[in-house]
Amino acid sequence: MLRTLKYQREADPEWARQVSERPGCEGLFSCLQCGACSGSCPLSIYMDLTPRRVIALVREGFRRDALSSMTIWLCASCYSCAANCPRQIHVTDLMYSLKREAIRSRLYPPRLPAPILAQEFYAMVRKHGRNSEFWLVLRMALRSNPLLLLTMLRNGWDLVRTGRLSLRRERIHGTSELVALSGAGPRPGRAEA
């Protein structure tokens, strides 16, 4: 839970305005701070900041606090908050937008698997056109917690042995065309926010 005293000089109102112009985030400044989103969120008890508090921080422009919060990574995209918001604010979309910016700005909690998985998935699909589960999990574990691999060894081997997990890299034909296409779009860690 955020307990630090905040000062107005730390806020960046321009950033808040930019967020409010992103698709799905348009209702940011109409938030009533009623807390219906937090009350209906099945995961808020595990979050460091409730969804309502994330909204409050974003609209005041406290960028670093919002982007480095665990909340945006715990969000399960269940849309309960959005469905219960009296102002029809798309809280889930806002969470997605913050996740993309946190990855791009490297402001996510260090070694947290979720943003690392997202980056590796994007990089793999961009390069090969397909996801290869074995390599994806391997790269995520090496970057987040290599010791995790020891706990996965037994199950992993069983999956490989029974043909349910392939060590082969999946790829499509014409990957150069895919790279050319995605070259015009956002890159890993620099996704549009």
Residues that bind ligand SF4 (CB under 6 A): 31-37, 40-41, 43, 51-52, 55, 75-81, 85-87, 89, 91-92, 95
Residue in this structure with the two tokens 């798309």, named with its chain if needed: 90
Contact 119, 187 (CB under 8 A): no
C-alpha 150/C-alpha 52 separation (Å) is 39
Minimum distance between the CB of residue 112 and ligand SF4, rounded to whole angstroms?
16
Name which of 25 and 75 has its Cβ closer to ligand SF4.
75
Name which of 67 and 137 has its Cβ closer to ligand SF4.
67
Q: Please state, as a whole number, how many other Cβ atoms lie within 10 Å of the Cβ of residue 76.
A: 11
CA 62 to chain centre: 18
Minimum distance between the CB of residue 25 and ligand SF4, rounded to whole angstroms?
11
Minimum distance between the CB of residue 20 and ligand SF4, rounded to whole angstroms?
13
Name which of 48 and 170 has its Cβ closer to ligand SF4.
48
Contact 37, 81 (CB under 8 A): yes
Minimum distance between the CB of residue 42 and ligand SF4, rounded to whole angstroms?
6
Minimum distance between the CB of residue 46 and ligand SF4, rounded to whole angstroms?
10
**Which residue type, as a one-letter code, is found at position 121?**
F
Name which of 100 and 139 has its Cβ closer to ligand SF4.
100
Phi and psi at residue 189, to the nearest 5°: 80, -5
DSSP state for residue 135 in the 8-state scheme = H
Name which of 2 and 43 has its Cβ closer to ligand SF4.
43
C-alpha 140/C-alpha 78 separation (Å) is 24
Name which of 75 and 137 has its Cβ closer to ligand SF4.
75
Kindly report the CA angle at 103 between 102 and 105, in degrees rounded to 5? 65
Kindly report the CA angle at 29 between 11 and 115, in degrees rounded to 5? 65
Minimum distance between the CB of residue 118 and ligand SF4, rounded to whole angstroms?
16
